[in-house]
Structure 1
Amino acid sequence: MPLSDTALRNAKPRNAPYKLYDAEGLFVIVTPAGGKWWRLKYRFGGKEKLLSLGTYPDTGLKEARGKRDEARKLIAQGIDPSAYRKESKAINTAAWQDQGRTFESVAREWFGKKYIAWTPGHQKKILSRLENQLFPYLGGRPFSTLDVADYLAAIQKAEARGAIETAHRLAQLCGQISRYARIVGIAKHDVAAGLTEALTPVRTKHYAAITSPSDLGHLLKAIDSYHGEPAICHALRILPYVFVRSGELRGATWKEVNFDAAEWVIPPERMKMRRPHIIPLAQQVVRLLHSMRDYSNTRSLIFPSSFSSSRCISDMGLLNALRRMGYGKEQMTVHGFRTTASTLLNEQGYNRDWIEAQLAHAERNAIRDAYNRAEYLPERRRMMQEWADYLDSLCLAHQLQ
């Protein structure tokens, strides 16, 4: 009796595989794991053979019967459907190879589509991963011939040397390129999907940060007493007040600062989330910026490097200053000022949305995000001045000790 969709849906797994027959050699194997595999039994050249026709329900009953009928037509013409399938696959693969599209050519094409939306730093980072860690192993290979094992072999070289996070980044990069290739018709399948499942999980890293008011006061006193390169000193004194990302502060230019409005507007190309960010400037920050003008002179950068006026100070310069003050990597980091501010402002009862907006964290709801940026500016302005006054009080308390 031929199969029905109801019988297929209701077929339950058993301890051992079993078969459900349809007609003319078509049947389904039901596995103990619950899989339902279509097979066609036929004879060719005096031998009994099996042809895989897909899985149910991805391949429905009607589609499976259609595939069976196509196979039987080939048999009637003296053609083995299994051999025909292999030959067709080989021809298709050769056709893709004839296009001459290597992994490197496809990756560079993908990069050319995407880079315009990235910061220069991110562009350089992605290109470096491609040229130094993927192209040496995959670059010259025809794209259509690559399979998951090829991608894993390249990615796991980073994993083998202990660079687990880098391996995950490379897996994501391969996945994006493979997905692009499929969408634009360069490849038939996205074979690089899900590569991270085969990698060692990344341990979440937390930046060391001081969250005790007393310890923060001690740090602020140390920063205030620190003597070194003027740009480093001023940057470290300003950073606790504004708690932006290190690169956003170090790359600041004078044209971004509006002294009349007491605002610093970071343009989207310098922001991680690619959107402008308004930072209300407390009186203390305005004074420090005016002081910094005496050192930067006519240069466009607020914190120019002592080695080159066209380059800003480095993140390592700020970090080394903290280390010279006696703060090890387990105590405080440059990025830690963001955690410090977030923790203490939340503890003091400030509105979480104000804090998140000031940290320039991504808002999942784009409409709400635009609303927040406009609506919370007066509240953030008050919060930032009160925060600056609070920091001064902590520093003063330690100076009086």
Structure 2
Amino acid sequence: MALDLLKGIEEKGLLEVASRTRQHLSNIMRHAVHQELIDTNPAANLGGVTTPPVRRHYPALPLERLPELLERIGAYHQGRELTRHAVLLMLHVFIRSSELRFARWSEIDFTNRVWTIPATREPIIGVRYSGRGAKMRMPHIVPLSEQSIAILKQIKDITGNNELIFPGAVPYCL
């Protein structure tokens, strides 16, 4: 029965979905065994019954093309100005996109030039993952260069006194 389900998903070309479905089935059945609802895990031997999804490895930008990237970012004016600033800041601080998207001004210490990403954040109502903080659920301290501080000050001029550094086009309820 589970094999038919997985094969049906695979036949539709949804290899990643088939792989995750197999993992979920195995986890559910393992839980049922631990809860003594069933004796054995019928999904334990489903590994390898579907074609594994094709993994794409995206190449890094060669260092010699960095000036071109910076030039293109500087010339980007089709979208929101905050988008351009966000991309520039990411190049300086190397943090996760969710850490940046849901960053608060209260996390930035301009005097000591550090950004303290908390272990967790107060979630924004109706916004998935907005309560995530640092990846390891421990405060993460990010040193801020002069360039990062300059970018943050430009962002502050745009966003004003909003609690979020990047408030988005639609205001959130905090």
Name the TM tier (shorter chain).
Answer: 0.7 to 0.9
Q: Alpha-carbon deviation of 1:302?
A: 1.0
Q: Which residue of 2 aligns with 1:309?
A: 171
| 1:188 is aligned to 2:50 | no
Q: Partner of 1:195: helix, strand, or coil? A: coil
Sequence identity (%): 35
Taking structure 1 as the reference length, what is the TM-score of the superposition? 0.37
- Corresponding letter in the other structure for 1:191: P
Q: Which residue of 1 aligns with 2:100?
A: 249
* Change in CA separation of 1:267 and 1:173 when aligned onto 2, cut-off 3 Å: farther
Write out per-residue CA displacement over residues 302-359 of structure 1, whole angstroms, 9 at most, x where no aligned residue: 11222x1218xxxxxxxxxxxxxxxxxxxxxxxxxxxxxxxxxxxxxxxxxxxxxxxx
Q: Alpha-carbon deviation of 1:284?
A: 0.6
Q: Which residue of 2 aligns with 1:279?
A: 142
* Change in CA separation of 1:262 and 1:201 when aligned onto 2, cut-off 3 Å: same
Structure 2 unmatched ranges of 5 or more = 120-131
Q: Alpha-carbon deviation of 1:273?
A: 4.0
Taking structure 2 as the reference length, what is the TM-score of the superposition? 0.81
Q: Which residue of 2 aligns with 1:381?
A: none
Write out per-residue CA displacement over residues 71-127 of structure 1, whole angstroms, 9 at most, x where no aligned residue: xxxxxxxxxxxxxxxxxxxxxxxxxxxxxxxxxxxxxxxxxxxxxxxxxxxxxxxxx
By percentage of residues, which structure has more helix?
Answer: 1
Distance 2:109 2:145 in 1: 12
Q: Partner of 1:270: helix, strand, or coil? A: coil
Distance 1:256 1:207 in 2: 32
Q: Partner of 2:48: helix, strand, or coil? A: helix
Q: Alpha-carbon deviation of 1:272?
A: 4.1
Distance 2:45 2:112 in 1: 49
Q: Which residue of 1 aligns with 2:153?
A: 290
| Structure with larger Rg | 1
Q: Which residue of 2 aligns with 1:320?
A: none
Counting only pairs closer than 5 Å after superposition, residues 29-108 of structure 1 correspond to structure 2 as none
Distance 1:237 1:224 in 2: 9
- Corresponding letter in the other structure for 1:280: P
Distance 2:47 2:162 in 1: 45
Q: Partner of 2:83: helix, strand, or coil? A: helix
RMSD of the alignment, in Å? 2.0
Distance 1:277 1:194 in 2: 40
Q: Alpha-carbon deviation of 1:242?
A: 1.5
Distance 1:245 1:188 in 2: 42
Asked if 2 retains the 8 angstrom alpha-carbon contact of 1:266 and 1:278, the reply is: yes
Q: Alpha-carbon deviation of 1:197?
A: 1.4
Structure 1 unmatched ranges of 5 or more = 1-149, 312-401
Pick 1 or 2: higher relative contact order, CA cutoff 8 A, min separation 6. Answer: 2
Q: Which residue of 1 aligns with 2:85?
A: 234
* Change in CA separation of 1:232 and 1:183 when aligned onto 2, cut-off 3 Å: same
Q: Alpha-carbon deviation of 1:184?
A: 1.4
| 1:166 is aligned to 2:23 | no
Distance 1:152 1:257 in 2: 52
